[in-house]
Chain A
Amino acid sequence: EAQVTQNPRYLITVTGKKLTVTCSQNMNHEYMSWYRQDPGLGLRQIYYSMNVEVTDKGDVPEGYKVSRKEKRNFPLILESPSPNQTSLYFCASSWGRVNTEAFFGQGTRLTVV
């Protein structure tokens, strides 16, 4: 089954404690991206990757890092989480930038206290 898998689904952590949210897709997609969703602000792109070793900032990249060492994986790293990073996070992947649908993971609800 074609899918995008995020882990963990839920996470409560403390300010400053480094964490990684993993994202994996089994569709051999080139494009992957991370979004965060906050009430009243909708979904906003954090980072995206056009292929292995190619990443770029989205609209709200501050406080986040990503890596794309393999095509299937695109982890989101919070080196020093802060309470304003409490949010619902989604990973997405697609074949390419033209005429393609994006597949989203089920989301990671992160709370930073």
Chain B
Amino acid sequence: DAKTTQPPSMDCAEGRAANLPCNHSTISGNEYVYWYRQIHSQGPQYIIHGLKNNETNEMASLIITEDRKSSTLILPHATLRDTAVYYCIVRSQEGAQKLVFGQGTRLTINP
């Protein structure tokens, strides 16, 4: 599975959009981009995933560049409860049945 690179930390004001970038320049054609987050020491929580098209659900939007070498997770109206570590994971359909979590981005939402 391709390696991902994320900034170690980011800050965002409450009510603003939080845009979390992820680089995955070695991604291959059959690999999906997944986003999870972990609030404090709770179990990771699935947010969204996509292959090449932009995706949106009730939690967030995922924007994948046309060359698929990077993506951005967007939390449209961040709240204090969105403070967490966000993990970008690239995973293939044929890969091992596991999620490879990097160090993620520690997002702090400030009041």
B97 and A4: CB pair below 8 A? no
Q: A97-B93, A101-B46 are in contact. Are A48 and B98 (CB under 8 A)?
A: yes
* Closest-CB distance, B9 to chain A (whole angstroms): 15
Assembled-state Cα–Cα distance A109/B49 (Å): 29
Q: Does B26 interact with chain A (Cβ within 8 Å)?
A: no
Q: How many residues of chain B are within 8 Å of chain A by beta carbon? A: 19
For chain A, give the interface size range.
Answer: 20 to 34
Please report the number of residue pairs spanning A and B whose Cβ atoms sit closer than 8 angstroms: 50
B44 and A45: CB pair below 8 A? no
A50 (CB) vs chain B CBs: closest residue: B97
Partner of A43, one of B95, B97, B99: B99
Which 6 residue pairs spanning A and B have beta carbons closest together?
A104-B43, A101-B46, A43-B101, A45-B98, A42-B101, A98-B93
16 interchain pairs, CB-CB under 8 A: A33-B97, A33-B98, A42-B101, A42-B102, A42-B103, A42-B104, A59-B98, A88-B41, A90-B43, A97-B95, A99-B32, A102-B99, A103-B46, A104-B43, A106-B42, A107-B42
- A residues near B, CB below 8 A? 4, 31, 33, 37, 42-43, 45, 48, 50, 58-59, 88, 90, 92, 97-99, 101-107, 109
